[in-house]
Structure 1
Amino acid sequence: MFRGIRPLLRGSTYAGALFAHGGAFASIPLLVLALLPVLEWRSAPYGVRAALVLVVWAALIGAVGLARPTRRVLIVCARRLLHVPLPDPVAVRRSPSRSGAGTAPPGAAPASPAPAAPSGADRGRTAVWLLLHVALGWAGGLASGVLLLAGLTLPGNWLGAEAGVSLFGWTLRARGGWGSWAAALGCLLLAAVVCVAVTGALRWLAPRLLGPSSAERLALAAERELLLAERNRLAHELHDSIGHTLTAATIQAAVAGEVLSADPVAARAALRSIEESARAALEDLDYVLGVLREEKSGTAPTRTLADLPELLDRLRHAGAEVVPELTGEPAQVQGTLSRAAYRILQEGLTNALRHGAGGPIEVRVAAAPDGLELGVVNRTGAGTGRSPGAFPTSGHGLPGLAERVRLLHGEFEAGPDGPYHWRLTVRLPVRLPA
């Protein structure tokens, strides 16, 4: 029983009825326009003139529904007053050209959306919604208005007055004390039921006529995919930059503390390396936060293979022994591939610092006309002097590297290399300039 009367107690029910009545009131100027042709055709029978008014009125309402801004306005109103979860119309993104088709590489900016415009089918559904909206508004408004008037008028019979309500030749009059009050209460309840029915009908119609079409649902899925790709890209940037900086800075601070008295020069070098690493990480962080706030964050920090010597120096200041092996012309690798290669080596070296067992860290960069090979090899096992939980990890490093390499159509291998070493090997396709 309580479940049945619960809709009568909700404010959203009457907000929805107000929305329906608002559509009816908004159609009054169109009704006035529809009456103008009839005024010039007074010789026609009354039924013909009434039908003509209805046809012209419906045509004008449908024309308003075909207007482009109408759909967006109705969606916003239905969402707020009917509490129906309707998404905004989605911008249709430009399809990539054949030459550039495929998944955007890491670090690439997302394509900008083209302005959204409702299709002909969507505008037709909007016109049908507006016609039903106005029809329900007028029907519900007249019915609830008559019932409300009856509920306020009938109790006058309690004082012996001759009160009643007449409509279209039908009269409702209650005689007798308590009978008039019961009839009035019944009319008020019926008026509330009409509001519930009108609101329920509009809520049922809204997702079907104002909800996303098949094309819009595909556009919504593409939008979600693009946002997810952008979030993953930013997560990679933060993981690569901030994770490496914190790991290196922690080790460098420990080294500086150990040699502060015995070797002040080495301590100052370690502190200077911490400062440089922190400054670079702050640049990356400012850029990512600017993107998340939808601000103009400036140009994204671009660290490429040309910055590899600086990265290796920071590792040496952390006490690591780095053995680089550079073949070919790595400096000729440019653009997205060079930036991705730097991040891959940065993550591999960070893992070597976190989990390595001391000893030299071998770094290999081999640039050839048809490919770029990257490698990091470090010792594994006990004997680092660090507790196993000194550098907790999220477990996203290697999966993130594998995904980055996959997007670049490369090959990724990571795992033990014998009983005492761990090897990371990446091969990326590249075309060096002639």
Structure 2
Amino acid sequence: MVRSLRPFVRAVTYTRWLHLFMAVVWPAMWWYVFAPSWAALTAFVLLGCAGLLPALRTVEGLQARLLLLGGRHDGGHPEIVVAPSATWGDRARTVLWLEIRLLLGCTVAFLTIHLPLLTDDLARTARGGSPDPATFVQVPGHHWWYAWITPLPLIALAAVVVASGRLITVLARRLLGPSPAERLAALEERTEQLLERTRIARELHDSIGHALTVAVVQAGAARAAGDPAFTDRALDAIEETGRAALEDLERVLGVLRESERPVGSRPTLTHADRLLDSARASGAKVDADLTGPLDTVPGPVSREGYRILQESLTNVLRHAGAVPVRVRVGVSGDVLSLEVRNPLTTRIPGPGRGDGLRGMRERTALLGGRASIGPHGDEWRVRAEIPIAPAAIRPRSR
């Protein structure tokens, strides 16, 4: 019993009722001003013409969100859209929505008026009075037992209010909801958001992981060396790497706070010297050769190349320690090539293991390149080749 009464304590039940009544206001004016015989037909024709206007879909969507959903909606996956009609299919659905809303609204308005009148007639005739001649259903005779069925029309009206409100809401989701093209666009946007989250997670993994690795290696080396001068250099390296990681962290958090924030501030291969200096300060003997016009490499390629180099050096420090490292980064024609080699040790994991290795492969593949990671003779080699031609990177760049 309590569950059946629950809809009547929700405000949205009555706003849906109001929404249906609003559909009848101006047709009722036509009914009283003009002849009833053609007023209804005129209302249907005018609604059909109005539904072809793109802006009307926005108006109806806003009204439906406010009155049928109580203002509740998901901006990412809207149940009811408020965008203008973009195709003839959208216009046709808007026209159908207006016509159905008018028919259902007229029905509900009629029952809202006449069912209470029927209740009044039942009460009158039970006492021996006369029914109201304006009531649509005339009560015959005068019977005392009419008093027992007096509440039935009001109960029927309550059921009509709840059922019609739910029905019009379902129809609104179908007819004013996103079209297949809009659903596809929303899906693509959601996919882009998920890819962006993955990229941000990978950024944090590379940047913070590199900083922590350098800090751990430097701290351990300083403790083992017992040399104040070496300790000072180690602390300087930890401070510089930590500061760079904090800058990366602040930038990533800024992207999360401001979705439209540009990504141009992300480090590129032109900042590769700070990675090399950080690796050298951690004890690695880095032999670096950076050739070609790195400053002309497109932003997406240069940024991802920086992260691949960072992850490669981080893995060397983490798994091999202070060993000789050869770094080759160059631009030849329309290809960026990047190679990092270091002696193979028993502490280096096998190929294909770890999020860092998978991340480097994914970065390269997303830019249309190829990566080779794993043992190569007596060395561990990371080699990536990424096309830098605009036609090759445009579909994947952001």
TM-score tier (shorter):
0.7 to 0.9
Query: SS of the residue aligned with 1:374?
Result: strand
Counterpart AA for 1:170 = Q
For 1:42-61, what aligned pairs fall within 5 Å after superposition? 49-61=35-47
Following the alignment from structure 1 to structure 2, what is the Cα–Cα distance between the partners of residues 128 and 82?
18
| 2:89 alignment counterpart | 121
| 1:9 alignment counterpart | 6
Pair 1:323-2:286 in alignment = yes
Structure 1: runs of 5 or more not aligned: 39-48, 92-115, 389-393
Following the alignment from structure 1 to structure 2, what is the Cα–Cα distance between the partners of residues 172 and 315?
99
| 1:238 alignment counterpart | 204
How far did residue 26 of structure 1 move? 5.1
Query: SS of the residue aligned with 1:130?
Result: helix
Pair 1:409-2:368 in alignment = yes
How far did residue 382 of structure 1 move? 5.1
Query: SS of the residue aligned with 1:212?
Result: coil
Counterpart AA for 1:313 = D
| 2:393 alignment counterpart | none
Deviations 1:148-203 (A, max 9, x none): 45446755778x47375551362378743xx4453123222211221233124323
Pair 1:428-2:377 in alignment = no
How far did residue 213 of structure 1 move? 1.9
Following the alignment from structure 1 to structure 2, what is the Cα–Cα distance between the partners of residues 155 and 250?
89
| 1:350 alignment counterpart | 314
Following the alignment from structure 1 to structure 2, what is the Cα–Cα distance between the partners of residues 174 and 271?
102
Which of 279, 298, 307 is 1:335 aligned to?
Answer: 298
| 1:307 alignment counterpart | 271
Following the alignment from structure 2 to structure 1, what is the Cα–Cα distance between the partners of residues 264 and 120?
69
Counterpart AA for 1:171 = V
How far did residue 295 of structure 1 move? 6.1
Any conservation in 1 of the 2:131–2:138 contact (CA below 8 Å)? no
Any conservation in 1 of the 2:312–2:340 contact (CA below 8 Å)? yes
Following the alignment from structure 2 to structure 1, what is the Cα–Cα distance between the partners of residues 142 and 65?
42
Query: SS of the residue aligned with 1:10?
Result: helix
Pair 1:19-2:24 in alignment = no
Pair 1:227-2:186 in alignment = no
Any conservation in 2 of the 1:287–1:298 contact (CA below 8 Å)? no
Deviations 1:316-348 (A, max 9, x none): 2223x2332416436455332333222111011
How far did residue 251 of structure 1 move? 2.6
Following the alignment from structure 1 to structure 2, what is the Cα–Cα distance between the partners of residues 173 and 199?
35
Following the alignment from structure 1 to structure 2, what is the Cα–Cα distance between the partners of residues 383 and 395?
13
How far did residue 298 of structure 1 move? 6.2
Query: SS of the residue aligned with 2:93?
Result: helix
How far did residue 232 of structure 1 move? 2.9
Following the alignment from structure 2 to structure 1, what is the Cα–Cα distance between the partners of residues 57 and 221?
65
Any conservation in 1 of the 2:116–2:154 contact (CA below 8 Å)? yes
Any conservation in 1 of the 2:282–2:322 contact (CA below 8 Å)? no
Any conservation in 2 of the 1:241–1:284 contact (CA below 8 Å)? yes
The 1:351/1:155 distance shift into structure 2, 3 A limit, reads farther
How far did residue 80 of structure 1 move? 5.5
The 1:251/1:64 distance shift into structure 2, 3 A limit, reads farther
| 1:108 alignment counterpart | none
For 1:138-287, what aligned pairs fall within 5 Å after superposition? 138-151=106-119, 154=122, 160=127, 162=129, 164=131, 166=133, 167-168=135-136, 170-171=138-139, 175-176=143-144, 179-259=145-225, 262-287=226-251
The size of the alignment, in residue pairs, is 379
Identity %: 36
Any conservation in 2 of the 1:308–1:342 contact (CA below 8 Å)? yes
Query: SS of the residue aligned with 2:340?
Result: strand
For 1:282-301, what aligned pairs fall within 5 Å after superposition? 282-294=246-258, 297=261, 300-301=264-265
The 1:155/1:242 distance shift into structure 2, 3 A limit, reads farther
| 1:44 alignment counterpart | none
Following the alignment from structure 1 to structure 2, what is the Cα–Cα distance between the partners of residues 71 and 224?
24
How far did residue 11 of structure 1 move? 4.6
| 1:32 alignment counterpart | 29
| 1:101 alignment counterpart | none
Following the alignment from structure 2 to structure 1, what is the Cα–Cα distance between the partners of residues 251 and 384?
27
Counterpart AA for 1:120 = W
| 1:72 alignment counterpart | 58
Following the alignment from structure 1 to structure 2, what is the Cα–Cα distance between the partners of residues 173 and 249?
97
The 1:182/1:317 distance shift into structure 2, 3 A limit, reads farther
Any conservation in 1 of the 2:294–2:330 contact (CA below 8 Å)? no
Which structure has more RCO (C-alpha within 8 Å, separation ≥ 6)? 1
Deviations 1:50-105 (A, max 9, x none): 232112222333444344343234334444554597445498xxxxxxxxxxxxxx
Counterpart AA for 1:289 = L
Any conservation in 2 of the 1:24–1:134 contact (CA below 8 Å)? no
